[in-house]
Chain A
Amino acid sequence: SQQGEEDPQALSIQEGENATMNCSYKTSINNLQWYRQNSGRGLVHLILIRSNEREKHSGRLRVTLDTSKKSSSLLITASRAADTASYFCATILYGQNFVFGPGTRLSVLP
């Protein structure tokens, strides 16, 4: 399996609900980043969390990191139709290249 894997592969929720997606990885990391990709577009950086951090917030986004379980979660609160996109985690080890997971496809229904 891959270094970074998101779970679930696909998620459908109603507008206003919270969306949670998870990322698991295999080796120790320096930081972990979450990216969003709208259909037909490039990836856009959302948030970076370093290995010595446990939680980070940015607007409606909350990211947690549990290095003992080698996992991270991305929570989007009060979701909107515009949040419909694919979400990727990227794990980064210093001096190494980014490793992206296959992504979670989020659909927010009006």
Chain B
Amino acid sequence: DAGITQSPRHKVTETGTPVTLRCHQTENHRYMYWYRQDPGHGLRLIHYSYGVKDTDKGEVSDGYSVSRSKTEDFLLTLESATSSQTSVYFCAISESHIGQETQYFGPGTRLLVL
């Protein structure tokens, strides 16, 4: 978890409300990722960023948006939370181009949508 923090660590919200999760890194890594982890699915990529203001969709991007205005921060927003978005969300960072480098993970955020 070195150099990566996520906030909040736990959140309970109601269906239809907006939710923003924050990932903050102190490693100055170029790439940042948001994953969700659900039983039986491993980690699935939601969105990723390859630089400030540069983002792209992952495997399960529907219902999520992201923003990166600074190198160190990557925000994940659920515009209108649904129960299917109850999950554990992990942020990850990597130093170099996709696929060639190790990813380092944050501690995760547990989100419960009622």
Contact = CB atoms under 8 A, between A and B. Distances in A.
B42 A92 contact: no
A92 B43 contact: no
A90 B44 CA distance: 11
Given A42-B105, A44-B105, A96 B98 contact: yes
A30 B107 contact: no
Interface of B: 1, 4, 33, 35, 40-45, 48, 58-59, 90, 92, 97-100, 102-108
Given A100-B43, A103-B42, A45 B99 contact: no
B105 A92 contact: no
Contacts of B107: 41-42
Interface of A: 2, 4, 30-31, 33, 40-45, 48, 88, 90, 92-98, 100-103
Contacts of A97: 33, 45, 48, 58-59, 98-99
B102 A48 contact: yes
Contacts of A2: 42
Nearest to B4: A42
Contacts of A90: 103
B103 A45 contact: yes
B48 A101 contact: no
Contact of A30 (B4, B42, B99): B99
Contact of A45 (B41, B59, B102, B106): B102
Contacts of A31: 99-100
Contacts of A94: 99-100
Contact of A92 (B48, B58, B59, B99): B99
A45 B48 CA distance: 19
Given A94-B100, A96-B99, 4 more contacts: A42-B107, A98-B45, A98-B103, A102-B40
A95 B105 contact: no
A23 B98 CA distance: 21
A92 B41 contact: no
Q: Looking at B43, B45, B48, which has the most chain A CB atoms within 10 Å of its CB?
A: B43
B99 A93 contact: yes
